[in-house]
């Protein structure tokens, strides 16, 4: 089988007989060259098609091989991932089981710790019970001493406050009485007693509608809690010195036997503050009437008879009844106000008692928990309760 070869036309060849060298194109005719060239081209096309077919087959084989490799790789990757997922699930289940076991172990450990703690606390309480009782007794004695000292100091402070308060209340009562008299009797001349005079506070010069002086009323105000019989002689003596026709002691503390709003004792009128105005009206009416009778009658017997007739007259009785009725109405209003204030005070006392008990209970709980680590609570625990302070 002939096999064509490709040779360059300028290739030098040698003659086998004479050894002369010449170009290949000189020894081969053009026709032969073209014939061989066509054969060469045909052979070259055939080889090209063969090579292309072989290349296509090789490429197909390579593609199939690559596809198989990739498929196996994907299958292996999926298998590895499934294996890893199964492993992760198994690890998660194991981890959850371990967590449950740890939680159970923690609960058991906490329970054991609490039991041991309770046992140790009981042992400590048993060991320290005697010392604690002794310490508590010492602290209780100290608290009682502090409480007694605080109560004494509170009593001293209360006494001092009451002394200053009584003085201020007395001055306030005096000013209130003066304002009451000036407002009720604008025609009268009401003057404070000079400071050098001990006892009375005000003197009221009674004047009639015509301006004629009819008499004088000496007033003294006492804002105290206890009645003193020594007030009456002093006021009576001062009345005589100043020449007043009547003396009135306005006081918040009436004699023990007194139930009336005002009464007369040792020639001195004793009245509560709410009865001062009606009593003043009655005394003024008597003085004005007496002055009128003095002017109308020159004889002593006639004046006495007129005075007796006036005292026995319905007019005088009506005036006194009107004064008493006015006092009764004022007394009812005052009792209603006192009842209302008493309810409010009782309610506030109950609230303060509850707050004090709650605070002392919290302090006791904290001291019981902290033992001796909270000495700053001793001052709170030593405070007197509401009932002690009120007593």
Q: Model confidence at 161, in pLDDT bands (50, 70, 90)?
A: low
Q: Is the pLDDT of residue 229 over 50?
A: yes
28, 10 Cβ separation under 8 angstroms:
no
232, 241 Cβ separation under 8 angstroms:
no
Percent above pLDDT 70 for the chain: 78
Long-range contacts of 64-68 (CB under 8 A, 24+ apart): none
Residue bearing the bigger pLDDT, 250 or 139: 250
Domain range annotation of the chain: 12-81
Q: Say how far apart CA 213 and CA 290 lie, in whole Å.
A: 11
For residue 215, the surrounding DSSP H or E stretch is strand 213-222
DSSP state of 194: P
pLDDT at 269: 93
**What is the rounded average pLDDT of the residues 122-135?**
72
Longest dimension (CA), the chain: 216
**Mean pLDDT, the chain, whole residue set:** 78
pLDDT at 26: 62
């Amino acid at each position: 089988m002939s096999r064509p070869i490709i040779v360059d036309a300028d290739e030098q060849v040698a003659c086998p007989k004479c050894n002369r060298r010449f170009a290949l194109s000189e020894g081969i005719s053009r026709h032969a060259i073209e014939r061989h060239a066509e054969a060469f081209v045909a052979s070259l096309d055939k080889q090209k098609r063969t090579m292309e077919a072989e290349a296509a087959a090789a490429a197909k084989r390579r593609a199939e091989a690559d596809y198989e490799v990739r498929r196996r790789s994907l299958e292996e990757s999926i298998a590895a991932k499934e294996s890893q997922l199964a492993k992760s699930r198994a690890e998660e289940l194991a981890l959850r089981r371990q967590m449950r076991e740890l939680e159970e172990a923690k609960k058991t450990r906490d329970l054991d710790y609490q039991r041991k703690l309770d046992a140790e606390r009981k042992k400590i309480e048993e060991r320290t019970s005697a010392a604690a009782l002794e310490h508590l007794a010492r602290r209780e004695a100290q608290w009682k001493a502090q409480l007694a000292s605080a109560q004494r100091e509170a009593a001293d402070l209360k006494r001092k406050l009451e002394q200053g308060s009584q003085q201020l209340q007395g001055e306030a009562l005096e000013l209130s009485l003066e304002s009451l008299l000036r407002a009720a009797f604008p025609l009268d001349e009401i003057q404070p007693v000079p400071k050098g005079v001990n006892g009375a506070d005000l003197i009221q010069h009674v004047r009639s509608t015509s301006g004629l002086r009819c008499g004088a009323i000496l007033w003294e105000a006492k804002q105290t809690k206890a009645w003193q019989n020594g007030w009456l002689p002093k006021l009576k003596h001062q009345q005589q010195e100043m020449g007043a026709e009547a003396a009135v002691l306005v006081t918040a503390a009436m004699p023990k036997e007194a139930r009336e709003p005002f009464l007369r004792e040792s020639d001195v009128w004793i009245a509560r503050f709410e009865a001062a105005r009606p009593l003043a009206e009655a005394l003024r009416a008597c003085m004005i009437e007496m002055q009128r009778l003095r002017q109308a009658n020159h004889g002593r017997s006639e004046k006495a008879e007129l005075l007796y007739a006036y005292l026995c007259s319905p007019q005088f009785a009506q005036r006194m009844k009107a004064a008493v009725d006015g006092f009764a109405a004022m007394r009812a209003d005052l009792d209603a106000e006192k009842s209302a204030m008493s309810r409010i005070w009782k309610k506030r006392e109950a609230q303060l008692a509850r707050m004090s008990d709650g605070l002392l209970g919290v302090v006791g709980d904290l001291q019981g928990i902290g033992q001796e680590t909270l000495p700053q609570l001793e001052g709170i625990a030593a405070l007197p309760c509401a009932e002690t302070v009120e007593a």
